[in-house]
Structure 1
Amino acid sequence: MKKLFLGLGLVAGTFAFAQTSPSFGLKAGLNVSSISDDGYEDSKAKAGFYGGVFMNAPLSEQFSIQPEVLYSQYGAKVTQSYTTEALGTTRKYESSQSRNLDYITVPVMFQFHATPNFYLEAGPEFGFLVSAKDKGDLTTTTTTGGTTSTSTTSGTTDIKDGISSFNMGAGLGLGFNFTPNFGINARYVAGFTDINKKNNGEDGNTTLEQSGKNRNNTFQVGLSYKF
């Protein structure tokens, strides 16, 4: 809760630094997200979306600050396999899943306007976990005394208990305003914090147990509309 108040406090504090009246708007677009290695070496990028509201407050003729509140889909497509042996029976598990991590994110971007229409931006992003699920297939190959059988199950597993509720990263991007109201923006957000809780995998609720540190990384591109 303290982290949520920190993010909202930064948004509210923006008004104190604004030199002129701030403007408000909507933005939405595509996320291409991944999770850093250390257990995710075979993972692939996953497409998602983001959307929400923003406020742009000019600090000077060339600088402004833009806090945002977005619903943003992160995660990755993950493949993993492992084998167990007990009482003469060998079981090989192979999973192919989409790890879907949904957040309410609060980016606070500091923008430099190189021209009236083109700008560069950078700043922190605070994320608060809303949903965490694995969706996909699990294939089990069982070998006992020379006899092998295979079974496949599909479904969705809630893994929220194994994922950290807070995510922090830094964004770096650029944008171009076609008109005073419409613009396009591209941004890369590199995660700083581990997505896993320290006890991840201990209670058996997660299908992919991670012992290392993993971070969200996301490329975003989308459109904005300023009122």
Structure 2
Amino acid sequence: MRKLFLITAVAIFFITNSFAQGEFRMGAKAGLNLASIGGDYDGIGGLDSRVSFHIGGLIEVPITDKISVQPEILYSSQGSKGNYGFLFDEVNDFKIKLDYLNIPILGKYHIIEGLSGELGPVIGVLVKAESDTNDGDSVDLKDLYKSVDIGVGIGATYRLPMGFFGSLRYNKGVTDINDDPDFNYKNQNNVFQVSAGYTF
């Protein structure tokens, strides 16, 4: 995990000091997640989307008039809800809570004044993994999930002249999040995000 943060920090430093052609923008954002777990196995009753949140900060580094790079650091609560019959006997309703420290590094293309499209990798470090059952119990699941998740983010942002912005983004997981040697299926994080924020 230390290597991951070191590589990310070096990449951001290199971008900001070697390629920047204009003013930086710094800011903060927060919003809603509609998170789910997709893949080969979706539980006995199926896995449904879970509504949660994300919050964090960002910088935007201009490369040209039309292109910029936007690294972010976000605390993102993800996971799913549904039914895992093999984990909980006679329990139908539960939530899998997978909390990540996500580091999106997005390339942005400014389509028109205020509107931009964005695409890039999203690296996630697992902070917490647990399940809340319908009887109020909480089960630690961190040993069942990998500590690093990699996905691809695609979305769009509209920024007002005074600095407020809104954005929509879809993060599609590309790596298997399962880390249980007895579990042969592959699953990925999928997250749709609606955000609001401010840059200056």
Asked if these proteins are the same fold (TM beyond 0.5), I'd say yes
Distance (Å, rounded) in 1 between the aligned partners of 2:180 and 2:133: 25
Give the letter aligned to residue 31 of structure 2: G
Does 2:103 align with 1:130?
no
Instruction: State the match for 1:112 in structure 2.
Output: 109
- Matched residue of 1:93: which SS? coil
Does 2:39 align with 1:37?
yes
Q: Where in structure 2 are the equivalents of 1:121-200 lying within 5 Å?
A: 121-137=118-134, 153-199=135-181
Distance (Å, rounded) in 2 between the aligned partners of 1:175 and 1:164: 31
Instruction: State the match for 1:86 in structure 2.
Output: none
Distance (Å, rounded) in 2 between the aligned partners of 1:98 and 1:130: 16
Whether the 8 Å CA contact 1:186–1:220 is kept in 2: the answer is yes
Q: Between Structure 1 and Structure 2, whose CA radius of gyration is higher?
A: 1
How far off its partner does 1:198 sit?
4.6
Distance (Å, rounded) in 2 between the aligned partners of 1:110 and 1:80: 37
Distance (Å, rounded) in 1 between the aligned partners of 2:175 and 2:108: 24
Distance (Å, rounded) in 1 between the aligned partners of 2:47 and 2:35: 11
Instruction: State the match for 1:5 in structure 2.
Output: 6
Distance (Å, rounded) in 2 between the aligned partners of 1:38 and 1:158: 23
* TM-score, L = length of structure 1: 0.81
Give the letter aligned to residue 59 of structure 1: I
How far off its partner does 1:21 sit?
2.9
- Structure 1 moving runs of 4+ over 4 Å: none
- Matched residue of 1:61: which SS? coil
- Which 5+ residue runs of structure 1 have no aligned equivalent? 83-91, 138-152, 202-209
How far off its partner does 1:12 sit?
2.4
Distance (Å, rounded) in 2 between the aligned partners of 1:38 and 1:94: 21
Give the letter aligned to residue 145 of structure 2: I
How far off its partner does 1:196 sit?
1.0
Q: CA RMSD in A?
A: 1.8
Instruction: State the match for 2:98 in structure 1.
Output: 101
Instruction: State the match for 2:67 in structure 1.
Output: 63
Whether the 8 Å CA contact 1:4–1:128 is kept in 2: the answer is no
**1:79-129 deviation line (CA, Å, top 9, x unaligned):** 1335xxxxxxxxx63442100000000001100001121110100010001
Give the letter aligned to residue 105 of structure 1: N
Number of residue pairs the alignment of both structures matches? 195
How far off its partner does 1:43 sit?
0.5
Distance (Å, rounded) in 1 between the aligned partners of 2:162 and 2:22: 16
Distance (Å, rounded) in 1 between the aligned partners of 2:90 and 2:4: 38
- Fraction of identical pairs, as percent: 32
* Larger mean Cα displacement after TM superposition, 92-101 or 64-73: 92-101
Give the letter aligned to residue 215 of structure 1: Q
